[in-house]
A and B are shown apart, each in its own frame.
Chain A
Amino acid sequence: DAKTTQPTSMDCAEGRAANLPCNHSTISGNEYVYWYRQIHSQGPQYIIHGLKNNETNEMASLIITEDRKSSTLILPHATLRDTAVYYCIVRVGDTDKLIFGTGTRLQVFP
């Protein structure tokens, strides 16, 4: 299973872009990178996923390096409601299993 490494915590000012890094140096060619977030005492919420190309949706952008060993989740204009734990996950092979790491606790401040 490809493991991921994320910083334990990050701060971001409201209105600024939040850039959350993730290392996944052992990722295999057919494994996707997923990002979820969990607001306190709620179930995780899907944000975005990608394989090779950069991806963007209404919530965020995902930048994956050419060698696929790392990625960055970008929240373009962070709000206080974006305060949460953000999990970068590499999906396990051909299964649907998502193995959660420790995640990054993002604190957005006014």
Chain B
Amino acid sequence: GAVVSQHPSWVICKSGTSVKIECRSLDFQATTMFWYRQFPKQSLMLMATSNEGSKATYEQGVEKDKFLINHASLTLSTLTVTSAHPEDSSFYICSASHTGLAIDEQFFGPGTRLTVL
């Protein structure tokens, strides 16, 4: 199956700093990428949907000015957590899809664990 990578796999930062997480589709062109957040012992929560070359669509309750998403190419999307606070500590997971493939499924990255001190 297709491979999606995330970088970094984990990051620790101080409160008030910004953190950028990269999501790459390695062997296919992702027309759409998704960002999820997962707190311990909870399910994945969809944060936003991004299409290459256009603005991301955020789910209700997700602050677009705090979670900046850029999808500048068909293989790369980035999530920047601005002015991070301890409550932003979570497991962030991206996924990518390519409409038009015979099997239209989302391929998930391995996740990035963010800890804000």
Q: B-contacting residues of A (Cβ < 8 Å)?
A: 34, 36, 38, 41-46, 49, 87, 95-103
Contacts and interface: CB of A to CB of B under 8 A. Distances in A.
Contacts, number: 52
Contact of A97 (B49, B104, B108, B113): B49
Contacts of A102: 43
Q: Which of A43, A49, A95, A102 has the most B CB atoms < 10 Å from its CB?
A: A43
A23 to B, nearest CB: 17
Interface string B40-74: 00011110010000000000000000000000000
Nearest to A45: B108
B55 to A, nearest CB: 16
Q: Which of B34, B36, B44, B106 has the most A CB atoms < 10 Å from its CB?
A: B44
**Chain B interface mostly helix, strand, loop or mixed?**
strand
A99 B108 CA distance: 14
A57 B115 CA distance: 38
B93 A44 contact: yes
A94 to B, nearest CB: 10
Given A96-B99, A97-B49, A99-B46, A46 B91 contact: no
Given A43-B108, A44-B93, A44-B108, 11 more contacts: A43-B95, A43-B109, A46-B1, A87-B43, A96-B32, A96-B99, A96-B104, A98-B95, A100-B36, A100-B44, A100-B46
Contacts of A45: 108
B97 interface: yes
